[in-house]
Amino acid sequence: MPEISAVIITFNEEDFIGQCLASLAGVADEIVVVDSFSTDNTEKICNGYNVRFVRHAFEGYVEQKNFALSLASFPHVLSLDADEAISDRLRESILKVKENFEYDGYEFNRLHNYCGKWIRHSRWYPDRQLRLFDKRKGKWMGFNPHDKFRLDRGTKKGRLKGDLFHWNYLTFEEHMDKMNRFSSIGAEAYFKAGKKAGICTASIHMCWSFFRSYILCAGFLDGYTGFVSCSITAYASFLKYAKLRHMTMEKKKAGKIPT
């Protein structure tokens, strides 16, 4: 039976890393944790499990996850975030496919717990994620902080039953704080890639994001929590493009890019 390396990146993840590691029991033959010098009890908790704990300076989500992949001893990798855990149904699916890897990568649904409620609509579900794969057949790509594993051309992808549980935000305030930080990271990545934002770009993206999540993807079915999650996510889109435009204008003023 092929062996699986579970790979996780961490930074101050004491709230959830324990349940993440516990969910991998009997599934992963190796667990590699790449930590960005946590200052909480993350390392102490990891030491309670059979984990290879490696410290590495954080250079970006894409870069950190590709570095973590390089440390995996086995070709087949199960990549999780520290605030995720595999469900019992997903565990069964992984153990079954482990007997015979028919595809180069497998995707499965991610179910988000937002402020104590499971979100089953909007763009947050099914939120398909490619997290079990042959690391020789692709790599992590995308604009930080939105990383995504991309399989090479000519590869085959399958789907597994069962959910990947994700505890993403405990409070509305935490969501707003993280969206503010992530929008800055996203704007910086877009700026470096040469992307531009017009005077109305931020507003258009915000309106479209809310309409798509709340109306087209039925986020209203998640009640008030659904309304808040869709609203904050839409505002994060506004912030990203507003910050991108501000960066561009500041560079023009400084004479570092042509007008």
What confidence tens digit (pLDDT) does each residue in 175-191 have?
A: 999 999 999 999 998 99
Confidence at residue 256, expressed as pLDDT on a 0 to 100 scale: 57
Q: pLDDT over 90 for what percent of the chain?
A: 87
Confidence at residue 125, expressed as pLDDT on a 0 to 100 scale: 94
258 domain residue, yes or no = no
Looking at the fold, whether 36 and 8 belong to one and the same domain comes out as yes
Looking at the fold, whether 97 and 142 belong to one and the same domain comes out as yes
Whether the bond between 75 and the residue before it is cis, its omega within 30 degrees of 0, is no
Name the pLDDT band for 247 (thresholds 50, 70, 90). Answer: very high
| Domain termination site, one of 169, 189, 224 | 169
259 domain residue, yes or no = no
Confidence at residue 258, expressed as pLDDT on a 0 to 100 scale: 55
52 domain residue, yes or no = yes
DSSP 26-38: TT-SEEEEEES--
List residues bridging with 84 in a β-sheet: 166
Look at residue 129 and tell me whether its pLDDT is greater than 80. yes
65 domain residue, yes or no = yes
Looking at the fold, whether 195 and 241 belong to one and the same domain comes out as yes
Confidence at residue 251, expressed as pLDDT on a 0 to 100 scale: 82
Average per-residue pLDDT for the chain:
94
Instruction: Report d(CA 237, CA 197) in Å as an integer.
Output: 12
Closest by CA to 76, choosing from 142, 7, 10, is 7
Q: What is the CATH number of the domain that holds 129?
A: 3.90.550.10
Looking at the fold, whether 143 and 186 belong to one and the same domain comes out as no
Look at residue 245 and tell me whether its pLDDT is greater than 90. yes
What's the pLDDT tens digit per position in 13-61?
999 999 999 999 999 999 999 999 999 999 999 999 989 999 999 989 9
Number of separate domains in the chain: 2
What's the pLDDT tens digit per position in 198-224?
999 999 999 999 999 999 999 999 999
Confidence at residue 149, expressed as pLDDT on a 0 to 100 scale: 96
Looking at the fold, whether 197 and 136 belong to one and the same domain comes out as no
Looking at the fold, whether 154 and 177 belong to one and the same domain comes out as no
Running DSSP on this structure, what letter comes out for residue 194? T
Looking at the fold, whether 133 and 194 belong to one and the same domain comes out as no
Looking at the fold, whether 162 and 105 belong to one and the same domain comes out as yes
Confidence at residue 250, expressed as pLDDT on a 0 to 100 scale: 87
What's the pLDDT tens digit per position in 144-166?
788 999 999 999 999 999 999 99
Amino acid at 125: Y
| Residue of 239 and 144 predicted with greater confidence | 239
| Domain termination site, one of 128, 151, 169 | 169
Instruction: Report d(CA 119, CA 141) in Å as an integer.
Output: 26
Looking at the fold, whether 97 and 204 belong to one and the same domain comes out as no
| Domain termination site, one of 141, 169, 197 | 169
Confidence at residue 144, expressed as pLDDT on a 0 to 100 scale: 78
Mean pLDDT of 90-114: 96
List residues bridging with 32 in a β-sheet: 7, 52
Domain that holds residue 194: 172-253
Closest by CA to 36, choosing from 60, 17, 18, is 60
Looking at the fold, whether 123 and 185 belong to one and the same domain comes out as no
Confidence at residue 257, expressed as pLDDT on a 0 to 100 scale: 54
Looking at the fold, whether 179 and 164 belong to one and the same domain comes out as no
Looking at the fold, whether 83 and 129 belong to one and the same domain comes out as yes
Mean pLDDT of 165-169: 94
